[in-house]
Amino acid sequence: MKLNFCSLSSGSSGNCYYLGNEFHGILIDAGISATSIHKFLKNLNISMQSIMGVLITHNHIDHIRGLAGLTRKYNLPAFTTRKIWNSILTPHMKIPYDCIHEISMKKEFNLAGFSIAAFPVCHDAPETIGFHICAGEKKITIATDLGHICETAASYIKEANLLVIESNYDEEMLANGRYPHFLKTRIKSDHGHLGNHQTSAFLADIMNDKLGNICLAHLSKNNNTPGLVLQTLQRTFSERGIVMNGKQRISILNRDIPGDFIQLDDNNL
Ligand SMILES: [Zn+2]
Ligand SMILES: [Zn+2]
């Protein structure tokens, strides 16, 4: 089975990821407008009709900005836990009743030929989840907003052939930047975001041959650059003696425009 992954947008101003097989696709988060999602998918030759649903990780605006539009305009089913739905469904967020689908933590469900499980992550929302998605032999894990990688999240991440994980801020840029003290503390906390050193050290711990694609996601606009993300990762890997095999690939996801279209087939896990 062929699998395609593409980040439509990644970062603190909007997150939306596409995952598809030969027949259907799903979206993970809807943090950009429904119009932008439609436009980006069209540019990739993907029709909205092929999208079977959207998975939502938490209620922060950079993950749900386009959710009302997507559900109302395209009647797209949306999936998240009851606690997250309770935090999303405010009087201003009008979502058609038949688009609201409730899922349970760590319980697999099927959508568009994928077997999907949500797992809890530490973040400062009423509840936040990551997704572990299986398509035949291939496993994709998405964990974009987490201040700390707890054991449960690590167990799902370690299984991945394609991993989307955040590398939100450069520790030095954040420390020397203009954010107020309370915000710096929030970002660095166990319920904030992962910094470049944290993500790099964790990846060095779990690196294995099955992990074919690493997508570093959710970069901060003010406290990070793609160059620093890559430099930190390369330095950490070299200090730890991690050598990647020739097939493994690292992508730094763009903030406002789609990233590379990543195709996974049986030879390229
Ligand atoms: Zn976010
Ligand atoms: Zn968040």
Distance in Å, CA 250 to ligand 2 centroid: 23
What is the per-residue pLDDT across 131-190, written as a single tens digit (0 to 9) for each? Answer: 999 999 999 999 999 999 999 999 999 999 999 999 999 999 999 999 999 999 999 999
* Cβ partners under 8 Å of residue 254, min gap 6: 7, 9, 10
Distance in Å, CA 183 to ligand 2 centroid: 13
Distance in Å, CA 66 to ligand 1 centroid: 14
Distance in Å, CA 144 to ligand 2 centroid: 8
Residue 243: is its pLDDT beyond 70?
Answer: yes
What is the per-residue pLDDT across 55-73, written as a single tens digit (0 to 9) for each? Answer: 999 999 999 999 999 999 9
268 band by pLDDT with thresholds 50, 70 and 90: low
The mean pLDDT of the chain is 95
265 band by pLDDT with thresholds 50, 70 and 90: confident
Distance in Å, CA 143 to ligand 1 centroid: 10
Distance in Å, CA 123 to ligand 1 centroid: 9
Residue 25: is its pLDDT beyond 70?
Answer: yes
pLDDT in the model for residue 219: 97
**Quick one: what percent of the chain has pLDDT higher than 70?**
99
**Quick one: what percent of the chain has pLDDT higher than 90?**
90
pLDDT in the model for residue 246: 87
- Closest among 199, 268, 254, 269 to 7, alpha carbons compared: 254
Distance in Å, CA 216 to ligand 1 centroid: 13
pLDDT in the model for residue 59: 97
Measure the CA–CA gap between 131 and 105, rounded to whole angstroms: 10
Q: What is the DSSP string of the chain?
A: --EEEEEEE-STT--EEEEE-SS-EEEE---S-HHHHHHHHHHTT--GGGEEEEE---S-HHHHTTHHHHHHHH---EEEEHHHHHHH--TT----GGGEEEE-BT--EEETTEEEEEEE-B-SSS--EEEEEEETTEEEEEE-S-SB--HHHHHHHTT-SEEEEE--B-HHHHHHSSS-HHHHHHHHSTTS--BHHHHHHHHHHH--TT--EEEEE---SSS--HHHHHHHHHHHHHHTT----TT-EEEEPPSSS----EEEBTTB-
Distance in Å, CA 22 to ligand 2 centroid: 31
What is the per-residue pLDDT across 74-128, written as a single tens digit (0 to 9) for each? Answer: 999 999 999 999 999 998 899 999 999 999 999 999 999 999 999 999 999 999 9
pLDDT in the model for residue 92: 87
269 band by pLDDT with thresholds 50, 70 and 90: low
Distance in Å, CA 168 to ligand 1 centroid: 9
Residue 266: is its pLDDT beyond 80?
Answer: no
Distance in Å, CA 83 to ligand 2 centroid: 15
Residue 92 CB neighbours (<10 A)? 6
